[in-house]
């Protein structure tokens, strides 16, 4: 398999293909001009173009399934060079706005949810991705390529920034080195120029690696997939909690460097009759004392074969109100893609089982 040029930082390309300005040119062609071939790079010497074309790929993945929801979100299934597949999602957070003359006033705002692994080691009881087990880490280029291909596919201009959330398949902190490199590649001003402040790393709570991520001081935002407020329940939902309990996670979060204008996100997947009671809300408030936090309540998205159920809207509102009334910033994430394969890992599982629907647009 050919290596992907997306695996390399600009500094690495400067060393590989002197003089240094060549790296900036290559970055411009790939990330801003969105070329599909090295041969299209007109200001690169012909010999180097041919060398690059022979020895490297631009994108290490291709779209094999795409489902578009009525709410505007699009779920992608990408195939990697070795035949494995991963999922990504484009979420339209805000529609473009136009004035009475039809002139654009505000651009549409997007968030891209990317995967960091093929499969996952964590084995959460509610997650479909866990069914297939862990296969391998994604390379930096395979992480970066998800966003690049989605921007190209939706004709999102190179100068239009998107937000990135590492909340797809896999545990990002189990692939920390490649994740960190991807974060830097995303942030390069000659590339996609997506500031670390626009990138959120979501983790199931590997305390030691939360600490290591903080020490790297990359400037990213942090989200904790908490989902339970006591260790007994959390161990049922997330077996990894036996090694990294709630107390260790809270301790690591308190030491994490956070921009003074930002908050640590605590993701709380609400499952009917499992963790949706007021007593859980009370305990959650106690856990978050001393942390500049925001709680994001998430509806469980059912998938075939699960025993868990989606909570009632009234229950979500009651839980949210309890937190808000006591000074805890809390939002309810509006579910997207309910008319397509919304659950994480669902589209991949359908593809593997031969049940994948045809492309929907």
The conformation of residue 122, written as its DSSP 8-state character, comes to S
Strands annotated E in the chain: 61-68, 74-80, 85-94, 97-98, 104-106, 109-113, 117-119, 134-137, 163-166, 199-203, 221-225, 264-270, 293-299, 329-333
138 in Cβ contact with 116 (< 8 Å): yes
* Residue 30 backbone dihedrals phi, psi, to 5 degrees: -75, -55
* Residue 348 backbone dihedrals phi, psi, to 5 degrees: -65, -45
The one catalytic residue among 142, 149, 330, 344? 344
Strand partners for 322: none
243 in Cβ contact with 249 (< 8 Å): no
Active site (annotated) includes residue 15: no
Residues whose CB falls within 8 Å of the CB of residue 47, separated by 6 or more in sequence, listed in order: none
Distance CA(266)–CA(28), nearest Å, equals 37
The response to whether 107 counts as a known ligand-binding position is: no
The response to whether 127 counts as a known ligand-binding position is: yes
91 in Cβ contact with 112 (< 8 Å): yes
The response to whether 301 counts as a known ligand-binding position is: yes
Residue with tokens 């998938």: 303
Nearest Cα to Cα of residue 202 among 319, 276, 126, 115: 115
135 three-class SS: strand
Phi-psi category of 142—alpha, beta or left, where left has phi over 0 and alpha has psi -120 to 50? alpha
The one catalytic residue among 87, 149, 349, 351? 87
The response to whether 100 counts as a known ligand-binding position is: no
Nearest Cα to Cα of residue 237 among 278, 187, 277, 271: 271
The response to whether 171 counts as a known ligand-binding position is: yes
**Inter-helix orientation angle 176-187/207-216, to 10°:** 30
The response to whether 225 counts as a known ligand-binding position is: yes
Active site (annotated) includes residue 87: yes
Sequence ranges of the binding site: 120, 124, 127, 170-171, 202, 225-227, 301
Q: Can you say which residues are annotated as belonging to the binding site for S-adenosyl-L-methionine?
A: 170-171, 202, 225-227, 301
| Known binding residues for [4Fe-4S] cluster | 120, 124, 127
Q: Which residues are catalytic?
A: 87, 344
């Amino acid at each position: 398999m050919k290596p992907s040029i997306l695996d390399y930082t600009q500094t690495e390309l400067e060393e590989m293909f002197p003089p240094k300005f060549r790296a900036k040119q290559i970055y411009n062609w790939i990330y801003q001009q969105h070329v599909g071939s090295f041969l299209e790079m007109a200001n690169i010497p012909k010999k180097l173009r041919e060398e690059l074309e022979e020895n490297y790929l631009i994108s290490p993945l291709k779209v094999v399934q795409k489902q578009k929801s009525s709410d505007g979100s699009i779920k992608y299934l990408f195939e990697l060079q070795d035949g494995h597949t991963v999922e990504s999602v484009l979420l339209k957070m805000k529609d473009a706005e136009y004035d009475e003359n039809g002139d654009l006033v505000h651009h549409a705002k997007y968030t891209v949810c990317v995967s960091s692994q093929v499969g996952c080691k964590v084995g959460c009881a509610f997650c479909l991705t866990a069914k297939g087990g862990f296969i391998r880490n994604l390379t930096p280029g395979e992480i970066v390529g998800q966003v690049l291909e989605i921007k190209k596919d939706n004709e999102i201009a190179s100068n239009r920034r998107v937000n990135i959330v590492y909340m797809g398949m896999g545990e990002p902190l189990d692939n920390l080195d490649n994740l960190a490199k991807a974060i830097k590649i995303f942030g390069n001003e000659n590339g996609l120029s997506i500031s670390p402040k626009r990138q959120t790393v979501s983790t199931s709570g590997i305390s030691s690696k939360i600490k290591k991520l903080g020490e790297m001081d990359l400037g990213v935002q942090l989200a904790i997939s908490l989902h339970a407020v006591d260790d007994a329940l959390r161990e049922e939902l997330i077996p990894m909690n036996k090694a990294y309990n709630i107390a260790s996670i809270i301790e690591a979060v308190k030491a994490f460097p956070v921009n003074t204008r930002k908050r640590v996100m605590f993701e709380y997947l609400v499952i009917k009759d499992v963790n949706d009671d007021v007593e859980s809300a009370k305990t959650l408030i106690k856990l978050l004392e001393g942390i500049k936090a925001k709680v994001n309540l998430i509806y469980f998205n059912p998938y075939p074969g699960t025993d868990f159920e989606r909570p009632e809207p009234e229950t979500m509102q009651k839980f949210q109100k309890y937190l808000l009334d006591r000074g805890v910033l809390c939002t309810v994430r509006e579910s997207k893609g309910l008319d397509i394969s919304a659950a994480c890992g669902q589209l991949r599982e359908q593809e593997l089982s031969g049940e994948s629907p045809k492309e929907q647009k």
